[in-house]
Homo-oligomer: A and B are copies of this chain.
Amino acid sequence: MDYTTNYAAAKHLVAVDCIVFGFDNEDLKILLVRRPIEPQKGDWSLMGGFVQQGESLDDASKRVLYTLTGLTDVYLEQLYTFGDVHRDPVDRVISVAYYALIKINDYDREIVRRNGAQWFKVSNYPRLIFDHDQMVQTAISKLRRKCRTQPIGFELLPEKFTIPQLQSLYEAILMQPLDKRNFRKKILSMNLLDKLDEKDKENSKKGAYLYRFNREKYETLTSNGFSFEI
């Protein structure tokens, strides 16, 4: 620290903004809310809130997410801090962006409705206030990179899922079709999925076997030098 500058230095408003991702078996989506105050009242925006005294950044992001979705224990990771002086035209606000991966049917619909929140495809969402577009784009890039080397995709699926479901998730995130034989071979060869005896018949007449991600196996393999890769 440059303590030649003393502790009477400038203080700043610090906010957290959350990019909330979900997957509905078709598209990768983000959850947006309408800005409740002027200026730009009614415009679409990310969910955010100010960091309180005595509240860590991680805690602030959890609080904001809980307020919006009623969810706790979700995958939540810091993304980037946006600090341009005029990014908020009213006041100078430094914003720490977080992104969350949630199982789209787990959130509390009531709370979401009350907040006027809505899901949008990442391929087609409305213009957002301030630099929130940039936040979303940054989050998508990060997710796209990270999902190839870390088993975070499972955070977007229910506990039990089928291989075709998992594949279409990856196709949605990566925005490219994948070969189903190669995908299946790859993912199963890692021995991270437990095959269940149940089938999911929602999406086909034949039905597809359900699988579950085995985190213990993942931890064990990882500590032995294994690295996840799609």
Binding site for B on A (CB under 8 A): 1-5, 7, 9-15, 17, 35-37, 45-58, 60, 64, 67, 78, 80-81, 83-85, 90-94, 96
Instruction: Assess whether A35 is in contact with B3, with CB atoms less than 8 Å apart.
Output: yes
Instruction: Assess whether B58 is in contact with A83, with CB atoms less than 8 Å apart.
Output: yes
In this complex, what residue of B is CB-closest to A41?
B3
Of A48, A56, A83, A93, chain B has the most CB atoms within 10 Å of the CB of A83
In this complex, what residue of B is CB-closest to A132?
B1
Within the complex, which residue of B2, B17, B92 is in contact with A50, where a contact is CB–CB below 8 Å? B2
Q: Which residues of the partner chain B approach A37 to less than 8 Å between Cβ atoms?
A: 3
In this complex, what residue of B is CB-closest to A145?
B149
Q: Which residues of the partner chain B approach A56 to less than 8 Å between Cβ atoms?
A: 83-85
Q: In whole angstroms, how far apart are the Cα atoms of A45 and B57 in the complex?
A: 22
